[in-house]
């Protein structure tokens, strides 16, 4: 894709995001067909932020999630600082179309991880992690039906990134816990309770984190110290509506909450 095509696609998606509008798909003359073009469009969304990048998210980290949106593997998206909040925050519900909240393991990096020719191992990445946090992602898409547009367009749409809530750092003992077997519960006050497990995230949240690093490396991107990576939902997404309060309990690793206005 040419620079004008990439910018035109980014402009359309950014404008739709800001006003809560959905489009059927990107126009044919600026529609990405390859992941590389999708990430190039996504990068232009980051350029509109007034702050350094908060971090990264991973979408479609379960087989069910991949089947739901018709992709054959995970997708990476950017978390913008303006869309990142502390636990206990009250967010405007606005024009959110997906209307779900997701309980996620999130890692804050303590060292840069630059791109390289050979893939990183899980142990190499964990050595660069500073803290583990419980998190809640509130995704959304700028497409009317995000299940049919394909991986390249979903990546261009920031892998359905929208808002993210970061809980407090877990005790350092998290490093000795089997995160794949760790159970998590999520609730929408007064209406719904669900349980999940770390293994729902590419088999292990630590594996998902390593996937993200290696995906960035393929596109010559560095995961920077201080950035947060949220690794995908470990339970079936919780349906939400204006006025709801969501709480996700990670047991000894902590809890994270968010509530919604209109």
Residue 96: what pLDDT?
Answer: 93
Express each pLDDT in 152-166 by its tens digit.
Answer: 999 999 999 999 999
Residue 68: what pLDDT?
Answer: 83
Best CA proximity match to 188, nearest among 250, 262, 100: 100
What DSSP character marks residue 136? E
Contact 73/156 with Cβ under 8 angstroms? Answer: no
Average pLDDT of the chain is: 96
pLDDT at 65 over 90: no
Contact 80/140 with Cβ under 8 angstroms? Answer: no
Q: Count of CB atoms within 10 A of residue 188's CB?
A: 18
| Domain extent listing, the chain | 3-260
- Which CATH class for the 3-260 domain? alpha beta
Residues 161, 224, 104, 141, Cα dihedral to 10°: 10
Rounded Cα–Cα distance for residues 133 and 168 (Å)? 6
Its pTM stands at 0.96
Best CA proximity match to 209, nearest among 250, 179, 176, 249: 179
Helix runs in the chain, H state only: 3-19, 35-46, 63-68, 122-126, 151-156, 205-218
- Rounded to an integer, the average pLDDT of 178-189 is 97
């Amino acid at each position: 894709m040419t620079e004008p095509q990439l910018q035109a696609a980014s402009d359309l998606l950014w404008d739709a995001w800001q006003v809560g509008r959905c489009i059927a798909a990107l126009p044919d003359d600026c529609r990405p067909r390859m992941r590389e073009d999708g990430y190039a469009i996504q990068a232009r969304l980051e350029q509109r932020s007034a702050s350094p990048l908060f971090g990264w998210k991973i979408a479609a980290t379960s087989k069910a999630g991949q089947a739901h949106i018709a992709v054959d593997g995970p997708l990476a998206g950017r978390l913008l600082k303006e869309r990142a909040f502390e636990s206990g925050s009250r967010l405007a519900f606005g024009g959110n179309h997906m209307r779900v909240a997701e309980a996620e393991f999130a890692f804050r990096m303590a060292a840069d991880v630059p791109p390289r020719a050979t893939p990183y191992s899980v142990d190499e990445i964990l050595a660069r992690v500073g803290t583990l946090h419980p998190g809640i992602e509130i995704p959304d898409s700028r497409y009317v039906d995000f299940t049919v547009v394909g991986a390249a367009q979903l990546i261009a749409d920031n892998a359905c990134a929208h808002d993210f809530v970061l809980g407090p750092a877990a005790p350092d003992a998290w490093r000795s816990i089997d995160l794949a077997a760790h159970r998590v519960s999520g609730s929408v006050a007064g209406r719904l309770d669900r349980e999940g497990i770390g293994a729902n995230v590419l088999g292990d949240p630590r594996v998902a984190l390593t996937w993200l690093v290696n995906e960035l490396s393929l596109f010559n991107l560095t995961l920077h110290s201080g950035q947060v990576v949220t690794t995908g939902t470990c339970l079936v997404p919780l349906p939400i509506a204006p006025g709801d309060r969501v709480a996700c309990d990670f047991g000894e690793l902590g809890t994270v909450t968010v509530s919604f206005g209109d």
